[in-house]
Every structure is written in structure tokens, then in C-alpha cells.
Homo-oligomer: A and B are copies of this chain.
Amino acid sequence: MSAGKIVLALDGMGGDHAPAVVVNGADIARERYPGTSFLLFGDPARLKPLVDKRKGLSKALEIVAAEDAVLAEDKPSFALRRRRKSSMWLAVEAAAQGRADTVVSAGNTGALLAISMFAMRMLEGADRPALASFLPTSRGETVMLDLGANLECDAGNLAEFAVMGSVFAQVLLGLDRPKVGLLNVGSEELKGHEELRQAAGWLRREGSPVDFHGFVEGNDIGAGVVDVVVADGFTGNVALKAIEGTAKLYTQFVRDAFRTSTFAKIGYLFASGAWAKLRKRVDPRRYNGGVFLGLDGVCVKSHGGTDTLGFAYAIGVAVDLVRYEYKNKLVEGLAKLRQVTATAEAPPAALQATGGAE
């Protein structure tokens, strides 16, 4: 891998619309990111005709035969042990062993996490991986993590996630000092869990590698109060899905409202430009997939149901993480965090006043 030239390993058989979406997404990404090339893992009999249809793609892409595929219903541990010859396993392995810079898959999330944790191992200084993604807000976009990789987290995990999210926002959103918040409940006396208060204490200290805003509440996510929202995987997953469900519900409510009368239907026609703008703003393809942060490698998960543009977007995320050296920045950030936590075994006094009983 020469500098400037990025090699992506693609799981050709992962996702609801594989392999077409993977091949066509790669073709779009190839034009968007000149110099990228692809190792495409999967069944050559199915992949080759698709690649041949896309002029010029075959020059930038090599098909690597994989005789097996991870299924959507496979349990992670089954995929880890029994699908070693799958397109997912081989693609992750290529990235883990340095034949590719990064791997992108639209396949089974749990399987991808298990396989990439096993094959890539954790990055120096990182204890657990976190699944991160973008969410639309009134100010732009916010990174949220962990979205379900770790249901139980201690203060150390949460502090690490804060650093991971901060570096991710630097690289993907181009922010110098992203504002980071810990997801909590609002009322003072109904105060948050102990691990949240301890993590907040570390992140507030001098020398902290993140610009720590403090605690945020569920409604602060959509308001874009911070650039990065950190939670344990249970809370983050529930919040993410509650947000997705509400977005879907409101879309339905708006659609229903415009079906109520002839006047409303005429209004809908006049406003078609407005609708297109709205749809673009909340286009799920722009918030496609997520990244497993904290691994000693770059692994991007595209939504299983994504289309070609969505898959191309996921490739773009992987390219940016490699190009802007996310891994090196994260190692630096985690080293700074360790300095802060090492000199502060007990939470600082200021923190206790914030979180303790009044």
C-alpha cells in the first residue's frame, strides 16, 4: 500500500441486496475517490458479471474467491468459528493482515463485530470496541456511540468511548475540538449512575484529550448540543432506535396529513421541492451504517438494507478514516486519557459535588 493509494476489502456477499449493491457502490466510490482500489470477496460466478457491466471497475478491483457467506441469522459466535471461509471473514482478515487498509461490510452486525475483534484485536490502550454512527441534528450531524457493542460499561469504557468519538468526529466532520457529552438524565437529584459521574470526572480534568461539555439529555441529541454523544451500549441502542422510530412515525404522520383532502394533495404537489429537500436532509443513506471504533484496524458496517449510494457512502467513511489517520490519532488520545486516569484514581472533588446527593 503506497501513500495516497487506499486498498479496501469489501464483503461482496453481505447485506440484503448483495452482491449488486456492493459492486455498484464500489464503482461510484472509485470515481469519487481516485486512487482507491478494491479486493472484493465472494462468489466469483456472481461477482464477475456485475463487475464486467461497470466499465473501468475491473482495473481497480480484484475478485477474491470466498466459498462461504455469513448469513443474517447466524449467531456471532457461530460465524466466528464456522464461517472462516466466508466473504466477511476473508475480507476482515485482509484488512487485519495489511493486504487492505480497511474493510466494509453490509452483513450481520454481531458477526462482523465478533470476527473483527478476533482478527484485528484491540488498539493499544483501548479496552472495548464501540459502534459509532452519525445522527442528523438541527445543527448538522452528531456522532453517537456506543450503539450496542457493549451493554455493560464501566467508567473507563465510557471515557475511552469519549476519546474514540472525539477522534471520529475530528476525522469525519473535520472539527478541531468536537464537543463531547455523556448521555444522562436531567434532574439533579435523580442523578445518573456512578460510572457516568466517574467518567465525567476524568474527562473534566486538565490534560483530558476531549473537549468535555458535561452531561446531556435525550432531547439534546437532536438539538445538536454536542458533536459527540457517549453512552453505554444498552442506553445508546435504545436511544438510537427510539430516534429512528420517531423519525419514521413523523414521516408517516406528515404523509397521512397530506392525504386528507384534495386541497392537501394540491399543496403536496406545490411543495414537492420542499419535500425533496426534507428527504435529503433526513436521507438514511447519509447516516448509513457505523464504525467499530477501538479496533486495531478500520472496520465499517454498512446498513444491511442499504442501496448503492448508501454503500458508496460507507466506503467514503472508510476512506476518510484511513486517509486522515484515525488510528494514530486515537492511540494518541487514549495515551492522554491514561495519563489523566492514572493521576486520578478517585474522582476529583468537583465531580463528587456535581453527582452526589445534595
Chain B proximity mask over A259-292: 1 for CB below 8 Å, otherwise 0? 0110110111111111101100110000000000
Q: Which residues of chain B are near A75, meaning CB under 8 Å?
A: 188-189, 358
| Residue A77 CB within 8 A of the other chain | yes
Q: Are B267 and A281 in contact (CB under 8 A)?
A: no
| Residue A315 CB within 8 A of the other chain | no
Cα of A220 to Cα of B253 in the assembled complex, Å:
16
Cα of A263 to Cα of B271 in the assembled complex, Å:
6
Q: How far is the CB of A106 from the nearest CB of chain B, in Å?
A: 16
One of A38-46, A235-243, A343-351 contacting the partner = A235-243
Q: Are A241 and B260 in contact (CB under 8 A)?
A: no
- Find the residue from A251, A252, A258, A271 having the highest chain B CB count within 10 A: A271
Cα of A217 to Cα of B241 in the assembled complex, Å:
7
Residue of B nearest to A217 (CB): B241
| Residue A248 CB within 8 A of the other chain | yes
- In the complex this chain forms, how many copies of it are found? 2
> Which of the residues B185, B248, B257 comes within 8 Å of A274, measured between beta carbons?
B257
> Which of the residues B110, B137, B242, B273 comes within 8 Å of A187, measured between beta carbons?
B110
Chain A: number of interface residues, binned into ranges: 35 or more
Q: Are A258 and B238 in contact (CB under 8 A)?
A: no
| Residue A192 CB within 8 A of the other chain | yes
Chain B proximity mask over A225-241: 1 for CB below 8 Å, otherwise 0? 00000010111011111
| Residue A353 CB within 8 A of the other chain | no
| Residue A148 CB within 8 A of the other chain | yes
| Residue A109 CB within 8 A of the other chain | yes
Q: Are A274 and B252 in contact (CB under 8 A)?
A: no
Cα of A277 to Cα of B285 in the assembled complex, Å:
30
> Which of the residues B186, B251, B269 comes within 8 Å of A267, measured between beta carbons?
B269
Q: Which residues of chain B are near A138, meaning CB under 8 Å?
A: 249, 252
| Residue A193 CB within 8 A of the other chain | yes
Other CB < 8 Å A-B pairs besides A257-B277, A260-B277, A263-B271, 12 of them?
A: A78-B358, A185-B233, A185-B237, A217-B237, A218-B239, A218-B240, A238-B239, A242-B242, A246-B247, A250-B250, A267-B269, A267-B270
Mind listing 15 A-B residue pairs with CB under 8 Å? A75-B358, A109-B187, A110-B188, A184-B238, A185-B238, A218-B243, A220-B245, A222-B245, A235-B238, A239-B242, A243-B243, A250-B251, A254-B254, A264-B274, A267-B274
Closest 5 CB pairs of A and B: A218-B241, A267-B271, A267-B270, A219-B245, A222-B245
